Structure 1
Amino acid sequence: MKILKLTLIVSASLLIAISNADAAEKQHSGWYAGASVNNSQIKIKDRDDDKTFIGASFTAGYQLSEHLALELGVSTLDISEGDGDEESSWEVRVKPIFLTPAVKWSIAASESIDLYAKLGASIAFTDSQVTNTSTGEDLEILEARSEWDVNPTFSVGAEWQLDHNWAVNAEYTYSPTALGVETEFDGSNYNDDLDLEVQSLMIGLHYHF
């Protein structure tokens, strides 16, 4: 699993780089917010190949105690794939949105580094568009959207406190995602189940208020 290997490399590099860092005062309660860049590997079940895409996520949470926090994340991806030749081709573009409420449990690895795990739900929705072209002219455009679907999600990560307010983190997330997609074409509706396996590596920056 390429994403998991990359996560281990990044986490090890992060810990080595900051092993001699000065301790920073941690906040054990209060609100925090952050943003991350995601490198997501997506595999469609029953297929042999997988694809990697770059996305973004935003997080808001409340630290209840030294070890426990409640968190809500919002992330999005812009996925496109196409094939064909000079005479005829097609392109599929999918824009999933993920809402991820979760419980976060953390433990101190040092005075400035926390290791954590998150368990929650991934509430997913997507719009998609399929465009068929021939000699540069659009033949047809099919648009589809899904209902909101709820799936489990699990994350592990490390957070380094830079100072009283700022922290950086590296996080690996696994989320099996099932979406029921409805497509309208020629006045008829077609339903299809889209089963995805999503693995993401996130590098982010948090601010504790």
Structure 2
Amino acid sequence: MVQVSFIEVVDRLYGQNNFIVGANMNIKRISLYPSVASIISLSLLMSPQVNAAAENAGEFYLGAKTGWSNFDFSQNDGDIDDDAWAGSVYGGYQFNEWFSLEGGYNYLGNSKEHIAGSEVNKTQIQNGEVGAKLDWNLTSAWNLFGKVGTSYNYVDQKTGAYNDSDENWSLMLGAGVEYQLSHNWRIRSEYQWFDNVGENSTTGRSDVNYLSLGLSYYFGSSDNGAAATAAAATTAAVVATQEPEPEPVVEPAPPADPIPAVTLSKGAFEHDSTELTPEAKSSLDQVVTHLKESPETRVDVIGYTDSTGSAEYNQKLSEKRAQSASDYLESQGIEESRITTIGKGEEDPIADNSTAEGREHNRRVEVLYE
């Protein structure tokens, strides 16, 4: 259902699936539809553990991309070589998990016209663009995006011994897919359309189609190392019981909520994995020691997530990460019968899910003594 819905949106934004380039009634059809559909189908098969757009909220980024451009000039007299290599640099700021402001420079290459085997016209296009980038998270690390904005174009045309040039503004629309390699790196595949580049009175007008592959770097930190260890290794003191005094008789206070023996938070798991990090295992070793010294004590191992993604997905993720902690306790000699493993998904948040810091605290596993 997601794939069909997206294709309908692409059709409405860009019209037909194929764009047509005319030269002396010879029509060349170039289809972008299969490429976009293949990228989307591949993305729906992947399911890592970290939401890319949410994780990079509040960060600047820079990137570069390269690919193929195609021109659709309205007037020509000879054979047109309208495919060209193109390259770009870009940068932006990710305001939140769904909105970024992005700008860049595009070198869109040259269109060449030949008559009787001789080059009679060469048109080069460059532009600068700025626009809004809107993200839609498919899974935890894959997201689709759309772009809308404007470009300022410079067109330089050489016809024989004559040179013409002009500048104008155009509408820019785009769509693509991104995958997060790590906290700092993403790859993207992107299609852009620039409307009516150039002026009819000088160089002529052309729609420009641009398909590219790029790499982005985000200037932020995942704070994995020592900071994560400090957040994960909160250990409660074991309070020794004392013999109650016979007098006076005091009504017992209602039992307090148990204090977690250990809380495994950010940095407790490898990126895009449910495998425990060495820091998380070190925190659990304290629990192993206490359980071996107190053979009657049992533990509850409870997994939680933040509110990003669907409730069903978060429930399964919390169960898998809690099970990883339970498996480690068993591997250190603690009987399975003394461990209860529970997944609570996005329930019982301990911090604000609207901030990146809050979501990191809510993605946790708690170990409670019984």
TM-score by length of 1: 0.78
Cα distance change of structure 1 residues 203 and 122 upon mapping to structure 2, 3 Å threshold: same
Higher mean alpha-carbon deviation, 18-27 vs 151-160, is at 18-27
Task: Considering fraction of residues, name the structure with more helix.
Answer: 2
SS at match of 1:75: strand
> Which position in structure 2 is the counterpart of 1:134?
none
Q: Deviations over 1:11-35 (max 9, x none)?
A: 146526x715564763112110101
> Which position in structure 1 is the counterpart of 2:104?
73
Structure 2 Cα separation of the partners of residues 46 and 6 of structure 1? 29
Q: CA RMSD in A?
A: 2.6
> Which position in structure 2 is the counterpart of 1:177?
196
User: CA contact under 8 A between 1:68 and 1:103: conserved in structure 2?
Assistant: yes
User: CA contact under 8 A between 1:34 and 1:60: conserved in structure 2?
Assistant: yes
Runs of 4+ off more than 3 Å: 20-25, 46-50
> Which position in structure 2 is the counterpart of 1:104?
133
Q: In the alignment, is residue 58 of structure 1 matched against residue 89 of structure 2?
A: yes
1:98 counterpart letter in structure 2: N
1:145 counterpart letter in structure 2: S
**Greater relative CO (CA pairs within 8 A, separation 6+):** 1
Point out the structure with max Rg over C-alpha: 2
State which of 172, 192, 208 in structure 1 corresponds to 2:202: 192
User: CA contact under 8 A between 2:62 and 2:217: conserved in structure 1?
Assistant: yes
Shift of 1:177: 2.2
Cα distance change of structure 1 residues 66 and 22 upon mapping to structure 2, 3 Å threshold: closer
Alignment map for 1:36-185 (pairs within 5 Å): 36-45=65-74, 51-85=82-116, 89-131=118-160, 141-146=161-166, 148-180=167-199
User: CA contact under 8 A between 1:130 and 1:142: conserved in structure 2?
Assistant: yes
> Which position in structure 1 is the counterpart of 2:46?
19
Identity of aligned residues (%): 22
Cα distance change of structure 1 residues 43 and 50 upon mapping to structure 2, 3 Å threshold: farther
State which of 208, 216, 234 in structure 2 corresponds to 1:206: 216
Segments of structure 1 that go 5 or more residues without pairing to the other structure are 132-140, 182-190
User: CA contact under 8 A between 2:194 and 2:209: conserved in structure 1?
Assistant: yes
Cα distance change of structure 1 residues 35 and 144 upon mapping to structure 2, 3 Å threshold: same
User: CA contact under 8 A between 1:3 and 1:41: conserved in structure 2?
Assistant: no
User: CA contact under 8 A between 1:7 and 1:171: conserved in structure 2?
Assistant: no
User: CA contact under 8 A between 1:78 and 1:93: conserved in structure 2?
Assistant: no
Segments of structure 2 that go 5 or more residues without pairing to the other structure are 1-17, 19-29, 220-370
Structure 1 Cα separation of the partners of residues 111 and 71 of structure 2? 12
Q: In the alignment, is residue 7 of structure 1 matched against residue 35 of structure 2?
A: yes
2:149 counterpart letter in structure 1: G
Structure 1 Cα separation of the partners of residues 37 and 136 of structure 2? 21
SS at match of 2:70: strand
Number of residue-to-residue matches in the alignment: 187
Cα distance change of structure 1 residues 23 and 196 upon mapping to structure 2, 3 Å threshold: same
Q: Deviations over 1:121-141 (max 9, x none)?
A: 02111222223xxxxxxxxx2
User: CA contact under 8 A between 2:173 and 2:192: conserved in structure 1?
Assistant: yes
Shift of 1:116: 0.8
Structure 2 Cα separation of the partners of residues 52 and 6 of structure 1? 18
